[in-house]
A = this chain, B = another copy of it.
Amino acid sequence: MADISFRVNSKLFVRDPQHTDLGQRIIKHSIDLIDKLGFEDFTFRKLADQIESAEASVYRYFENKHRLLHYLTAWYWNWLNYRIDIATNSLSDGSLRLKAAIKVITDPKIEDPRFEFVNEVALHRIVVAEMEKTYLTKWVDNDNEEGLFWGFNSLCHKLSGFINIVSPGYSFANSLASTVLLATHQQLFFLIHLPGLSDMKKKDDLSVQHQQLQTFIEEMVFRTIGC
């Protein structure tokens, strides 16, 4: 198996967690713990207990828990970006590429054996439930200057690039792309917690839900840009 890892913005961490045993345990167990407790109830103390280390040791890898959330979501966006590359690089037709990208974004997430210490299924749940908290803060402008949103930005621009190839005259490719990325995850949140805000149904099984989601998003994109 190829030994791959994403280059994430070094501002996201104090010390790169990918290169040490403790760092990898921090990533792995923080995903499990945030998924289990929710981000608010998650603390570095609880994480340290879980990995049988000390609170101060976690702070040597991440400045605070907010930056750790940044790191995890950035990793997720990079992962989607990478999977879109794989799914689209053999396709030459613009519409097919856009369609393939939407499929990667809306498909149910399964574990990716290429990344050992990341549970992608749990991480996807975290992104659905907590992602907006990366930017709904008073630090958003500073965080953006430091490039902490590079992963999301980059994915967004990949999508808007695809959109503009299919429909060069469309004026709102970035807005549509960001709306689509957010809506995809928000609709999954609504489906579970606020079902009146979505048309997908809880009772349907996962694959049916995601099929409906894909249809909703695909129709919205292709009709909006005029195809």
Residues of A within 8 A of B (CB): 38, 40-41, 129-130, 132-133, 135-138, 140-141, 144, 149, 152-153, 156-157, 171-179, 182-183, 186-187, 189-190, 193-194, 196-200, 212, 215-216, 219-220, 223-224, 226
Contact = CB atoms under 8 A, between A and B. Distances in A.
Given A179-B183, A190-B178, A196 B153 contact: yes
A178 B149 contact: no
Contacts of A196: 149, 153, 156-157, 174
7 contacts: A38-B137, A40-B137, A132-B136, A135-B189, A135-B194, A174-B196, A175-B198
A171 B133 CA distance: 31
Nearest to A156: B197
B194 A149 contact: yes
A198 B179 CA distance: 9
A97 B21 CA distance: 60
Contact of A194 (B41, B140, B172): B140
Q: How many copies does the complex hold?
A: 2
Given A133-B136, A140-B193, A183-B182, A174 B157 contact: no
Which of A172, A190, A215, A216 has the most chain B CB atoms closer than 10 A to its own CB?
A: A172
A177 B194 CA distance: 14
Which of A38, A40, A196, A215 has the most chain B CB atoms closer than 10 A to its own CB?
A: A196
Contact of A226 (B130, B182, B223): B223
A46 to B, nearest CB: 15
Nearest to A149: B194
Given A129-B136, A183-B182, A198 B220 contact: no
Contacts of A216: 171-172, 175-176
Nearest to A152: B197
Contact of A223 (B177, B186, B224): B224
Contacts of A176: 216, 220
A45 B38 CA distance: 27
Contact of A178 (B130, B157, B198): B198
